[in-house]
Amino acid sequence: MKESDEIESRLAALRPIDPSLDRDALMYRAGYAAGRTTAMPSRVFRTGQAAALAVAAAATVLLLRVPPEPARPDPAPVASQASIIDQDPLARWLERPAMTRPESLPPEAVIGQSSDRITARTLLDQLLSESITLNPSGDKA
């Protein structure tokens, strides 16, 4: 250990020669480099600019490459309300004036075509009979 210390102290006693540099020239160059760096935009700023340009270019390319939307086929023609009324006898009957006579009720055969409305037919019959009975000025009363 003592020997190591001796070696270290002997080596440390040696002084390397100074570099043969022109101090003024070096300081001038250093100042010039510092000023140049200040004048230039930072790397982060330049990177941001480059990224923005890349994104803009990519967006433009994508915009140009998107195919036009294909023409949609015309929707199936929807049957008009008038045609539905013409085709359905029960609907045709319901479109008649509200106050009807019993004989104007649709025949059973017509009602039968609309099986889901049998209950409605029965109710309607009852209502009409009652209204005729309760109406003193009615023709049938």
Partner 1 sequence: MPRPDHKLIAGLLDRHGGALALYASQWTSEPDDCVQEALVELASQRTTPRSPVAWVYCVVKRRAMNAARAGRRRRNREQEAFRRRLLDRQGPVDPSSNAALVDAVSQLDPIHREAIVLRLWGGLTLAEISEATGVATSTAARRYEAGISALREQWSSSSTHSENA
Closer of 3 and 69 to partner 1 (Cβ): 3
Closer of 3 and 139 to partner 1 (Cβ): 3
Contacts of 101 (CB under 8 A, 6+ apart): 140
> Is residue 45 a contact point for partner 1 (CB under 8 A)?
no
> Is residue 46 a contact point for partner 1 (CB under 8 A)?
no
Separation of alpha carbons 39 and 45, rounded Å = 13
Please choose, out of 29-37, 54-62, 100-108, 112-120, the segment that lies near partner 1 by the rule CB under 8 A. 29-37
> Is residue 37 a contact point for partner 1 (CB under 8 A)?
yes
> Is residue 12 a contact point for partner 1 (CB under 8 A)?
yes
Contacts of 91 (CB under 8 A, 6+ apart): 84, 85
> Is residue 24 a contact point for partner 1 (CB under 8 A)?
no
Please choose, out of 5-13, 58-66, 76-84, 130-138, the segment that lies near partner 1 by the rule CB under 8 A. 5-13
Return residues touching partner 1 (CB under 8 A).
Answer: 3-4, 7-8, 10-21, 23, 26-27, 29-31, 33-34, 36-38, 42
